[in-house]
Amino acid sequence: MDLDYSADELAFRDLVRDWLRAHLPADLRAKVARYRPLARDDLARWHRILAAKGWIAPAWPTEWGGTGWNVVERYIFEEECGYAGAPPLSPFGLMMCGPVLLRFGTDAQKQRFLPRIYQGDEFWCQGYSEPGAGSDLASLRTAALRKGDRYVVDGQKIWTTHAHFADWIFCLVRTSRASERRQEGISFLLIDMRTPGVTVRPLALMDGGHEVNEVFLDGVEVPVENRVHDEGAGWTVAKFLLGHERMNTARIGTSRRELEKLKAYAATRTRAGRPLMQDERFRDRLARVEIELMALSITNLRFLDAFRAGRAPGAEVSMLKIRGTEIQQALTELMMEAAGPLAFALPGADGDPDDVTDALARRYCNYRKTTIYAGSNEIQRNIIAKQVLGL
């Protein structure tokens, strides 16, 4: 097992790092550094910069605009983007729907959707979770009744990230109840958000932000040609998609950046008349998080070494999701502790453009979601126990 980067991989890392330093817009970097909300225009601008470079969809086949990078180079690129403070790319089109279409889509579907996803001309969201069907996704009740060349869809989706930005939504819907097995009779549909009967209502998070939504589908007509894969085979598509989603939740580069920021900030804070970094209990907790992040990085490299050999990710990829998201939460907790009352300051109240404390409380609240999305960490542990450990 080789857990070190080769000379070529180190040279590639330097290439990516230099390019990001030169082309990542300063205002976008500043928004990310200060935890400011990113508008659709912010996300689209960074998307188009990467698309113009040809780096927007590294994992796609080269005939559809992929870079031809190997799995290690793709990981390095993602890590460096996070470390540099680049805005996160919306994953729903690039990393979820795109790979689904490449694996299961018809030629017509690929021609229609993939170029627009690549260029950022159409924004996507994910219609999976429903009231009463979140971690237990197979319990979904949104129904699609086929009438000739169309499905008529009725139901509700919830916690739909960026639905208020989206042009399209990919949805799991129930097209049959004939089987007692809940995973059967589910289909995967692509739905235009401008279709009559689609209603988006905002859900306010406890950080005060508008990021997620309820989506109501009332008699929404969807052409049959917008179904991906066979009718009733949506669970196969869903499992494929979730594997891609969980690979992208560790965010090691972002956590490395936040760890360095935390160390620098804690060095400026005092507690009981001495620097916070001299507080043994705080320093111990900080060291534990840093060690866990190092261990996660090594675990990720073990996966990459397996991918080099051509092995596809299995259920064990859930380890990255579990530890990655828990580390992200731990970092926000320590930053809140370091900031103290300043974490609740109003944005810009102190007039210091470099201050990072004015949004810490909102960030802490927002990051409570990380151990829930993409399958709650409790569910991920069950998956590992059953499919990896055989318990």
Q: How far is CA 119 from the centre of its chain?
A: 19
147/183 same-domain check: yes
Domain edge (last residue) among 89, 116, 147? 89
Domain of residue 200, CATH code? 2.40.110.10
**What is the count of structural domains for the chain?**
3
pLDDT at 307: 67
* Strand extents, DSSP E, the chain: 124-127, 143-147, 150-157, 168-174, 186-192, 198-204, 210-223, 227-228, 270-271, 274-275
8 Å CB contact between 31 and 65: no
Tell me if 99 is assigned to some domain. Answer: no
**What are the contacts of 17-21 at 24+ separation with CB within 8 A?**
17/80, 17/84, 19/53, 20/80, 20/81, 20/84, 20/86, 21/84
Please provide the DSSP assignment of 255-291 as one string: HHHHHHHHHHHHTT-EETTEEGGG-HHHHHHHHHHHH
Tell me if 110 is assigned to some domain. Answer: no
pLDDT at 312: 61
Residues assigned a catalytic role:
245
pLDDT at 90: 92
349/269 same-domain check: yes
| Alpha-carbon gap, residue 102 to 61, rounded angstroms | 9
Closest residue by Cα to residue 253 from 32, 69, 7: 32
Tokens encoding 104:
């299961």
Mutual orientation of helices 71-84 and 7-23 as an angle, nearest 10°? 40
317/369 same-domain check: yes
Domain of residue 370, CATH code? 1.20.140.10
46/166 same-domain check: no
Please provide the DSSP assignment of 171-190 as one string: EEEE----SSSTTTTEEEEE
Domain that holds residue 192: 124-232
CA angle 249, 250, 256 (to 5 degrees): 130
State which H helix or E strand residue 119 sits in: helix 107-119
- Tell me which DSSP letter residue 233 carries: B
Tell me if 253 is assigned to some domain. Answer: yes
Tokens encoding 262:
């935390």
Tell me if 143 is assigned to some domain. Answer: yes
Place of tokens 């085979």: 233
| DSSP-assigned beta bridge partners for residue 215 | 157, 200
136/224 same-domain check: yes
216/177 same-domain check: yes
pLDDT at 354: 46
Tell me if 72 is assigned to some domain. Answer: yes
User: What size, in residues, is the chain?
Assistant: 391
256/374 same-domain check: yes
Domain edge (last residue) among 174, 207, 232? 232
Domain edge (last residue) among 89, 107, 133? 89
Q: How far is CA 142 from the centre of its chain?
A: 24
pTM: 0.88
| DSSP-assigned beta bridge partners for residue 233 | 186
* CA atoms within 13 A of residue 369's CA, in its CB half-sphere: 17
Q: How many CB atoms lie within 10 A of CB 78?
A: 22
| Alpha-carbon gap, residue 344 to 64, rounded angstroms | 46
Tell me if 109 is assigned to some domain. Answer: no
**Cα dihedral across residues 324, 328, 330, 334: positive or negative:** positive
| Alpha-carbon gap, residue 210 to 240, rounded angstroms | 29
253/228 same-domain check: no
295/357 same-domain check: yes
8 Å CB contact between 189 and 227: yes
8 Å CB contact between 162 and 211: yes
pLDDT at 310: 64
pLDDT at 353: 41
Q: Would you give per-residue pLDDT tens digits along the chain (391 residues)? A: 556 788 999 999 999 999 999 999 999 999 998 888 899 999 999 999 999 999 999 989 999 999 999 888 998 999 999 999 999 999 999 999 999 999 999 999 999 999 999 999 999 999 999 998 887 888 999 999 999 999 999 999 999 999 999 999 999 999 999 888 889 999 999 999 999 999 999 998 888 889 999 999 999 999 999 999 999 999 999 988 876 555 567 889 999 999 999 999 898 888 878 889 889 999 999 999 999 999 998 888 787 777 666 666 667 778 888 999 999 999 999 999 998 877 776 444 444 444 555 578 888 988 999 998 877 889 889 988 888 888 7
- Tell me which DSSP letter residue 133 carries: B
335/366 same-domain check: yes
Place of tokens 């698309």: 51
262/132 same-domain check: no
Tell me if 114 is assigned to some domain. Answer: no
Tokens encoding 106:
């018809």
Tell me if 95 is assigned to some domain. Answer: no
Closest residue by Cα to residue 357 from 337, 372, 375, 374: 337
270/220 same-domain check: no
Closest residue by Cα to residue 248 from 13, 54, 90: 90
| Alpha-carbon gap, residue 263 to 248, rounded angstroms | 25
* First-to-last C-alpha distance (Å) of the chain: 27
